[in-house]
């Protein structure tokens, strides 16, 4: 069997495993294997094919890793408006309990609210800044 055929089979196997695993890294390594197959088609020796596979595959992984590191981290789901539509909504607090909680009517149900840490409790309109379990964390508007 020709070297190029072996490289194509390895690249195909990496893609299949990639589809089963759900990560992108094996796909990037498969690009290196495909580059080695092309090097084999061009008549380069086995050592050159191995170097091409390593440089392209590992290089692609390193580039992807550096791109991912530069991206801003996604906000936690409890504070992310894209995940939780309660973030940014207003609630009215009539009175605070001695334990630092209050009960408000919001979306047709009773909710427990707590003031965000480091902020004094006061009555009136508050904005939901986070959802922790079944509690709304609020800030005074």
| Burial tier of 79 (Cβ tally within 10 Å: 0-12, 13-18, 19+) | middle
How far, rounded to the nearest angstrom, does the alpha carbon of residue 105 sit from its chain's CA centroid? 33
Query: How would residue 75 be classed by pLDDT, with cut points 50, 70 and 90?
Result: low
Pairing of β 109-115 and β 135-140: parallel
Rounded to an integer, the average pLDDT of 6-18 is 96
Average model confidence (pLDDT) for the chain?
90
What domains lie within the chain, and their CATH numbers? 1-70 (no CATH), 89-140 (2.40.50.140)
Query: In the prediction, which pLDDT does 15 show?
Result: 95
Rounded to an integer, the average pLDDT of 24-48 is 96
Map tokens 């605070």 to a residue. 96
Res 43 pLDDT > 90: yes
β-strand partners of 132: 135
pTM score of the predicted model: 0.57
Cβ neighbors of 33 (< 8 A, separation 6 or more) are 7, 8, 10, 11, 14, 53, 57
């Amino acid at each position: 069997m020709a070297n190029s055929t072996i490289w194509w089979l390895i690249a195909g196997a990496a893609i299949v495993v990639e589809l089963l695993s759900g990560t992108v890294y094996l796909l990037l390594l498969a690009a290196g294997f495909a580059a080695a197959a092309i090097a084999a088609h061009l008549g380069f020796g086995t050592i050159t094919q191995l170097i091409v596979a390593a440089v392209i595959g590992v290089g692609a992984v390193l580039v992807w890793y550096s791109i991912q590191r530069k991206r801003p981290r996604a906000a936690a789901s409890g504070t992310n408006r894209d995940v939780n539509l309660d973030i940014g909504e207003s609630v009215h607090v009539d009175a605070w309990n001695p334990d630092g909680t209050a009960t408000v009517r919001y979306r047709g149900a009773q909710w427990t609210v707590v003031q965000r840490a480091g902020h004094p409790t006061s009555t009136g309109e508050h904005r939901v800044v986070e959802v922790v379990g079944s509690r709304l964390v609020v800030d005074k508007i």
